[in-house]
Structure 1
Amino acid sequence: MTHMRGAERGPAAIAAGVFAIGVLAGCSGGAPEAGPPYTVSSIRSGLVHPADLGEGAIETEDADHGSHVVYTPPNSIPTCPYVQRSEDVQVEVKPAVEPVGGNPTGRFIVGPQRVGPSSLPVVTQGAVVFQSDALAGATMDSVVAESAKCPEAFSVLGGPPSVVGEYKVVSRPIEMDGWKGFAQHLVHTSPPDMNPDTYDDLVTVVVHKANAIIYVGYAQIKTVGRRADTEEKVKALMTTTLARLG
């Protein structure tokens, strides 16, 4: 059994699935037919593969350990990552929404075995498939409404060193190949006495089409002074992913 290992630091490393276990075996048989109505199998076949990231990438499944530094259920859809650790948020906002009536794919993590400023990115992804387009649309409305509450800035003052620091959040609508939703860009900087040379650059994309909602979190550890380019990279990656899904 292979484990994905990450240094004990911010969102990019946490997203690497320090607690995720079990490298997934390759799918057997032909790929499910692309296009709606979507199934769990067809969505799974279209999500990010290790080959999409490059040599050295592996895939693991989030085994739902409650000991995560920042925990959300694997069947949930992200709305405001890491906000549950903050002490200074002035409005009530959930880090994720657990949908009712959907069939989740589970949460899968693709990335390097060791995480650092020069490593491959870490991709955290999953989806929920519904019996009807209407139910998926109503759920997406709830996710968008909750994500709109995410503050533009918040702090985490206590807890593990990997999450302490300042968080800046920018969100905007996104539409790709008929999938519509939002891209939320989060930058985490540590206090000057902790990891002063790097910052965490995370973009979470949540999109909806027909009877499915998918999310992809793309995280990098960047050296201070280097431009945050995660949003550009996740869009390029999702161009491939969404083309497979149809």
Structure 2
Amino acid sequence: MRGVDRKASRRRVTRRVSRAAAGMLALGVLTGCSGGAPQASTNPPYTLDSIRSGLVSPGDLGEGATEFKDNGHASHVVYTPPNSIPTCPYVQRSEDVEVDVRPAVEPVGGMPTGRFIVGPQLAGTSSLPVVTQGAAVFTSSSLADNTMDTVVAESAKCPETFGVLGGPPTVVGDYKVGSRQIEMEGWKGFAQHLVHTSPPEVNPDTYDDLVTVVVHKANAIIYVGYAQIKAVGQRADSDEKVKALMKTTLARLG
């Protein structure tokens, strides 16, 4: 793809990150652009309304942010069901993965909030990240415990490196993955850091810095994907930024 216009390539990469998260690339129907503070949440047991009020809002990201809802269309570049919990984003596009690993787990017995994307209003260079998030609420803590065990076990299969050789230019390239256990505000789970670099002939200037956090408490599981486009040579810092963001949002849930 030599000769590809540099600006057009950057726009495509930005649109991809705007659609990324936790294993899925999609911008859906605009559902709300309010940047105001979320309503106060209740402590567990959680409900769909209380969890939604505690998730990341446009106001958490700052001026210029808006919120979209995933429309669930299966023609997305990297599709996972909008009610699923991410375990290994992008792996379904890879041709060189030798283990059987799913990109996401659909919870059994959970009531999903749906998938919401918070990010800049316009595609293009922006200081704002793209946050893709959702949750599942269960009728009992034991059901949530069992589902989280399945999610953790599946995420542990995610390879440290894999490649995508074919498909849209925005997903072709090399992927490096690292994971660690986390605990914040009483919520426990893992943070998975994924760095995607494109082939030089496709995009030599930037790389994608994505951290997916999945945490569990009582009868709920929450996931948040925090994606940035970074210049080659610039330090990846999505891990630090999503941790600070989630300390604020999870504190709202109690």
TM range (shorter): over 0.9
The CA distance in 1 between the partners of 2:11 and 2:225, in whole Å, is 18
Superposition TM-score, scaled by structure 1 size: 0.93
**Conservation of the 8 A alpha-carbon contact between 1:197 and 1:224:** yes
Structure 1 counterpart of 2:192 = 184
Identity over aligned pairs, percent: 73
**Conservation of the 8 A alpha-carbon contact between 1:104 and 1:126:** yes
The CA distance in 2 between the partners of 1:206 and 1:78, in whole Å, is 8
What CA RMSD, in Å, does the superposition of the two structures yield over aligned residues?
2.0
Gaps of 5+ in 2: 1-9
Q: 141, 152, 159: which one pairs with 2:167?
A: 159
Structure 2 counterpart of 1:12 = 17
Choose 146-155 or 109-118, whichever is displaced more. Answer: 109-118
**Conservation of the 8 A alpha-carbon contact between 1:7 and 1:13:** no
Structure 1 counterpart of 2:204 = 196
Residue by residue over 1:71-126, the C-alpha shift from the partner in whole angstroms, topping out at 9 and shown as x without a partner, is 00110000000000000000010000001000000000000023445431000000
**Conservation of the 8 A alpha-carbon contact between 2:137 and 2:220:** yes
Measure how far apart 1:23 and its partner are: 2.7
Superposition TM-score, scaled by structure 2 size: 0.90
**Conservation of the 8 A alpha-carbon contact between 1:172 and 1:184:** yes
Residue by residue over 1:1-36, the C-alpha shift from the partner in whole angstroms, topping out at 9 and shown as x without a partner, is xxxxx9322752332865411232659xx9364210
**Conservation of the 8 A alpha-carbon contact between 2:57 and 2:118:** yes
The CA distance in 2 between the partners of 1:33 and 1:207, in whole Å, is 17
Structure 1 counterpart of 2:119 = 111
Letter in 1 for 2:134: G
Gaps of 5+ in 1: 1-5
How do residues 218-233 of structure 1 correspond to structure 2 at under 5 angstroms?
218-233=226-241
The CA distance in 2 between the partners of 1:114 and 1:166, in whole Å, is 27
